[in-house]
Structure 1
Amino acid sequence: MKEYRFKENKLKVILDDESIVFVRGKNDLKIHKSMRGENKVFFNQILGIKYQEPALLKKGFIQFSIPRTNIVGVVRSMDQGANAIVFNKNEQEMINEIRNYVENKLRESKVTDSESSSIKMLKEYKELLDMDIITQDEFESKKKELLK
């Protein structure tokens, strides 16, 4: 677990093995009440990352998009201020560490998903073999292909 503190925004960001946690002041009247307190986002919920570097007179931001609603089978993303960090140039190093950590977790998740998908496919081919729908040679060929 690693913690990052953004003093200007009174924000603490905590990274652990499965999530990113945003902790903002419960009594901070400078921020909207929906953003106060603790907001935990699991890595497997993150659909994308929006990022903008700080400029000369402009702050940067990083925002983690999560699913919103399931409308007719289509998942749409929701960009929430509670899932964002606004930062300036002297906080860039912390942002880079957070971004790299989250991106690595997202990549690991995709590898795991593709591995489990291959195993499911292999089980389906085994069922087809057991039902004599495909031959042993066809099964072995698909097995080699899926386990590469």
Structure 2
Amino acid sequence: MEKEFYFKHDKTTITISDEMLKIKRKGLSKKITHGLSGEKEININNITSVQVKKPTIFTKGYIQLAYTGSPETKNGILAAGLDENSVLFVHKDQEKIDEIKSYINSIIYRKKDNSSTNNLSVADEIKKLKELLDQDVLTQDEFDAKKTELLEL
């Protein structure tokens, strides 16, 4: 899946694929504040959080992406405008921002679920298998085979 979101007011495009999030900025002011290429790629699996500040009548909003090792801007809209991991947006773009945030958060939560599942100890796994054996869901042979596999005997 690849989806592109264009923010006309800020001349910025966010493209999301299964592996990468790309931020591409156009315009001279963007080249000055965000480097000559105006592009940023972030591995989507490395994103740890998404912060959204909604726009008001007087100010733009912003979406900020954080990942391990990235600086986090904490000085509001002015700092976000210079931050390479943030994109400014206006009120009419709120729906796009919500979709981006939702998609990234689903990846973050899925990652957390997988890591907590993988962190079960061998003893916990054997205990679960024993419960299944006691409930006659597993046979003794199935239980023994899986236990041996878990204990790497």
Q: Structures share a fold, TM > 0.5?
A: yes
Change (3 A) 1:2 1:59: same
**What SS is found at the alignment partner of 2:39?**
strand
Q: Distance in 2 between matches of 1:114 and 1:86?
A: 34
Which of 45, 63, 79 pairs up with 2:72? 79
Change (3 A) 1:10 1:141: same
What's the CA shift for 1:18? Answer: 2.2
Q: In proportion to residue count, which structure has more strand? A: 1
What's the CA shift for 1:112? Answer: 1.5
Q: What amino acid is the match of 1:45?
A: N
Aligned-pair RMSD on alpha carbons? 2.4
Q: In proportion to residue count, which structure has more helix? A: 2
Rg comparison, structure with higher value: 2
**1:66–1:79 Cα contact (<8 Å) kept:** no
My pick for the range that moved more, 15-24 or 83-92, is: 15-24
> Is the aligned partner of 1:140 residue 2:126?
yes
Q: Distance in 1 between matches of 2:115 and 2:5?
A: 29
Q: Any unmatched runs of 5+ in structure 2? A: 74-82, 132-153
Q: Any unmatched runs of 5+ in structure 1? A: 69-76, 126-137
Among all aligned residue pairs of Structure 1 and Structure 2, give the percentage whose two residues are the same amino acid. Answer: 27
**What SS is found at the alignment partner of 2:23?**
strand
**What SS is found at the alignment partner of 2:96?**
helix
* TM-score (normalizing by structure 1): 0.69
Q: Which residue matches 2:14?
A: 13
What's the CA shift for 1:140? Answer: 3.2
**What SS is found at the alignment partner of 1:82?**
coil
1:1-148 paired onto structure 2 within 5 Å? 1-25=2-26, 28-31=27-30, 32-34=33-35, 36-68=37-69, 77-79=70-72, 81-118=83-120, 121-122=121-122, 125=123, 140-141=126-127
My pick for the range that moved more, 35-44 or 91-100, is: 35-44
